[in-house]
Amino acid sequence: MNRYFNHSYRISKISRSFHAFRKPKHLKLNYREPDNWNNCNKREIHPFWFIGKTIAQLSAIIGGRFTRKWYAKLSPEKKKELWKRFTWNRVGAAVAILSGGAFANYVYHTEEDPITKRKRFIAVTDDQLQRLVQVETDQILEAKKGEILGSEHPAYDKVISIANTIINRNQDIPLLRNQKWKIYITKSPDVNAMVLPNGNIFVEGGLIDLVGYGDELAFVLSHEIAHAVLKHSAEKISYAMLLDIMIITVMAFLWLFIPSDGIALISQWFYRRVVDIFMHLPYDRKLEEEADEVGLWLAAKACFDVRKGSNFWTIMSMLQKEENTEIPEWLSTHPANLKRQENLDVLMPAAIETRKACNCFPLSKNDPRIQLRMAKSLDEISKEISNPLAK
Ligand SMILES: [Zn+2]
């Protein structure tokens, strides 16, 4: 659990003069206007792959169905002749060649993340990713037209100051150091933030309204920066490709062997849902947890009050409860807010140690987590008293 916190703390020697309102070194203000981006990492994969995938899926359905119908129409003699040519040895050899090739490809594209030391499959190059992301960035900016705040808005100075502190205090991470970061703030009431692999960070106005410009926002920005540094977009695209190939292969077999089109269609739908629930969504949640963990570490090195990272998820869970927008974790791309809070609390002692090792100013003795949770309990009790039937 503490694997990130065991890394070097050399960053501690970096001057604290990056705090406060110096002109950002890496950040640029934005003058244009963007879009419809959803919560971090909820984006789906790029349209080019989507078109290719759709063609492959249709080919699998049509090919499987056509072969089944063609076989059904064959005379018994022809079928017998066909089966004579069929040998398990041939099938075995074909399966061995295909799976061997797929495995070699998987191993070739598997690399170790320098921060987490986790092995991950990345099938897209940085260049390919940047090209894909540029198209996506343009679409987002176009769709978000009218919502992005102008660069003269005072919110930029405050958000950039926080982001700048995180970036400058984590200069020992090459990917973070070499990235050009850019902040966009919108006036949308959504409580949201997201990052693109090209370093564009989007912060929705609703998030700032909810948490202000303090340590909670620093944690959210650290979380977003962690997604970019950990190359989660490239990993998600690669994993989605892998699952798509698997889905398309199974679809072809379903349409080949299931005698009724209706049953084949239902089986295909069911199979896709199973893949979503048991493979796609858990993977997304795993990456979110990793971004929380590494984000906490980045925030600790930048001397923020990391305990408020945990508070952020407490606040989010209160908000979701209030708005009745909670969805079961197993159906979500993100872990449940309270689970995220608990995960961070487990990591908190190590994060606090990291702060100390980085020569940060001491944290206040009053733990803000206790204060917030007391307030939350009081709030719940008062609601129960005022509305005893609510429970
Ligand atoms: Zn995220």
Q: Report the pLDDT value the prediction gives residue 324, as an integer from 0 to 100.
A: 78
pTM for this predicted structure:
0.81
**pLDDT tens readout for residues 326-337:** 777 777 888 889
Q: How far is the CA of 285 from the centre of ligand 1 (A)?
A: 9
Q: Report the pLDDT value the prediction gives residue 43, as an integer from 0 to 100.
A: 41
Residue % of the chain over a pLDDT of 90: 47
pLDDT of 46 above 90: no
Annotated active-site residue in 136, 204, 216, 224: 224
Q: Report the pLDDT value the prediction gives residue 9, as an integer from 0 to 100.
A: 29
Residue type, 310: S
Averaged pLDDT for residues 317-328? 81
**């005893």: which residue's tokens?**
388
pLDDT of 26 above 60: no
Torsion angles phi and psi, residue 172, rounded to 5: -80, -5
More confident residue, 358 or 260: 358
**pLDDT tens readout for residues 195-254:** 999 999 999 999 999 999 999 999 999 999 999 999 999 999 999 888 888 889 998 989
Identify whether the C-beta of residue 195 lies closer than 8 Å to the C-beta of residue 228: yes
Q: How far is the CA of 101 from the centre of ligand 1 (A)?
A: 33
pLDDT band per the 50, 70, 90 thresholds, residue 41: very low
Q: How far is the CA of 291 from the centre of ligand 1 (A)?
A: 6
Cβ neighbours of residue 361 closer than 8 Å, sequence gap 6 or more: 303
pLDDT band per the 50, 70, 90 thresholds, residue 364: very high
Find, among 24, 337, 3, the residue nearest to 199 by Cα: 24
Distance in angstroms (rounded) separating the CA atoms of residues 386 and 166: 43
Distance in angstroms (rounded) separating the CA atoms of residues 350 and 3: 10
Averaged pLDDT for residues 277-293? 92
- DSSP letter (8 states) at residue 362: P
Q: How far is the CA of 375 from the centre of ligand 1 (A)?
A: 27
Distance in angstroms (rounded) separating the CA atoms of residues 388 and 386: 6
In the residue annotation, 142 being an active-site residue is answered as: no
pLDDT band per the 50, 70, 90 thresholds, residue 33: very low
Distance in angstroms (rounded) separating the CA atoms of residues 373 and 129: 42
Cβ neighbours of residue 304 closer than 8 Å, sequence gap 6 or more: 165, 166, 215, 218, 219, 222
Averaged pLDDT for residues 3-23? 30
Identify whether the C-beta of residue 8 lies closer than 8 Å to the C-beta of residue 172: yes
Q: Report the pLDDT value the prediction gives residue 312, as an integer from 0 to 100.
A: 95
**pLDDT tens readout for residues 99-137:** 898 888 889 889 999 999 999 999 888 888 888 888 889
Residue type, 318: M
Distance in angstroms (rounded) separating the CA atoms of residues 8 and 30: 34
Q: How far is the CA of 60 from the centre of ligand 1 (A)?
A: 34
